[in-house]
Chains A and B, each alone.
Chain A
């Protein structure tokens, strides 16, 4: 069985749990850092990034999450989760976990009244992906090692670098589970190719 966690400090956790369902997947709602060790993959959900960061610090998740990423275990961040992963945040002095070499701009599309839903083509995932953008960030710059998976009006809204996957929008708010199942496949492959990666740290 694959064990995939959803970081549950704040935000839309159950929606991810639902979208991750697969016959070989066991999902774990993660509230304490001692739950991380048993996981093969982890999701950073949407929510408020400033709130999540405060709780990450408060409960000692900061280094364990960075180690999780450094160990090569797959991580998928949506919206606020993407912000947590980014190395740089526009107009802020430093990023949060800084595990992915990208720059993000918060609330890039405007306030809630400018929030929207659309359909996107996402490389390797599919066409016509249902995408809900809520006070969404965008990826304003990427390192050359990062693969751009999707753009909306010329702006990057989904990207992957090796075992790290991130998007601006909320696939978890839709019935369309293709993006999550793409991540589940990443976790499967990661576990097959590096069965002992838990020992890396």
Chain B
């Protein structure tokens, strides 16, 4: 009589996050700061992306102790990351009771060919995408929420902007195509044909699409909302800034009122130093997290 893990229940969970900010945290104290600042969810991690980048080596699912510590600290939803294609990490996170799993390129991929069959799980998944083809492949595998990949841990918004603009442009293109063009477009994008039919009909993605990767300031968050994001993930941007608490609040407000420039101006005053950023062109190809997964 009660059906769990249906598409509506999994996608609906992401709908409830719209207009909100999801923050990366590494312990209970940070989780509480995030909740108090108005985050709609937290992502429990062992290290934020900037530290993963600095540490190098293989990045894996967080220690379950940290995930549980965060789950016990807050009443808002808790997400956690599993490596791309790592069936067991994902099953472990599901058994811990996390509310959402991020199959994430921030961690070192476990499988270079296959992403998870996310339709197999009761818990919903969010996945990163650089363009519409990638986004729809993930939805085809059962992702209930999407986000841009950006370039995590850099504090540089340019890649997230590129990914969001590309997805929006491709959505418009499909909405304007005639039906007889869609199969060829599906072939070109490497995307399921049925999902293209759906987009032609609705003009939008079948699931919520957030911005992620490189958001460091309130203006960055507002920019991504203006480009059509349903909400934002902030990874290193908050707890790598000088005053995480003020930063967190300012980013939440800028996301809600993304077209109120006077307000964003006020929010940006005296925030202290943002996280230190990285120029994308200085990254070696092997350091580009967005190129993980396909």
Q: Interface on A for B, CB 8 Å cutoff?
A: 8-13, 15, 31, 46-48, 50-51, 54-55, 58, 79-80, 106-107, 111-119, 132-135, 170, 173-174
Contact = CB atoms under 8 A, between A and B. Distances in A.
Nearest to B99: A112
A48 B12 contact: no
B12 A106 contact: no
Nearest to A58: B253
B15 A15 contact: yes
A135 B41 contact: no
A51 B20 contact: yes
Most chain A C-beta atoms within 10 Å of own C-beta, residue among B15, B35, B94, B123: B15
Most buried by B among A13, A114, A134: A134
Given A31-B257, A112-B99, A132-B9, A47 B16 contact: yes
A10 B9 contact: no
B-side interface mostly: loop
A11 B19 CA distance: 6
Contacts of A111: 77, 97-99
B4 A114 contact: yes
A17 to B, nearest CB: 13
15 contacts: A11-B19, A11-B20, A15-B15, A47-B16, A48-B77, A50-B76, A112-B100, A112-B124, A114-B4, A115-B9, A115-B12, A117-B2, A117-B6, A132-B9, A135-B99
Contact of B19 (A8, A54, A79): A8
B187 interface: no
Interface string B7-35: 01100110111111000000000000001
A153 to B, nearest CB: 8
A12 B18 contact: yes
Among B5, B12, B94, the one with the most A-chain Cβ atoms within 10 Å of its Cβ is: B12
A10 B256 contact: yes
A38 B39 CA distance: 30
Contacts of B77: 48, 111-112, 135
B38 interface: yes
A97 B40 CA distance: 19
A54 B76 contact: no
Contacts of A119: 1
B118 to A, nearest CB: 14
B123 A10 contact: no
Contacts of A51: 20, 38-40, 76, 252
Given A112-B99, A117-B9, A173 B15 contact: yes
B120 interface: no
Contacts of B100: 112
B5 A132 contact: no
B18 A47 contact: yes
B75 interface: yes
B220 to A, nearest CB: 18
A79 B123 CA distance: 20
Contacts of A10: 18-20, 40, 256
B268 interface: no
Nearest to B9: A115
Given A15-B15, A46-B16, A55 B99 contact: no
Contacts of A114: 4
Top 6 nearest A-B pairs (CB, nearest first) are: A112-B99, A54-B38, A116-B2, A48-B40, A12-B15, A10-B19
Contacts of A55: 38, 252-253, 256
B168 interface: no
Contacts of B18: 10-13, 47
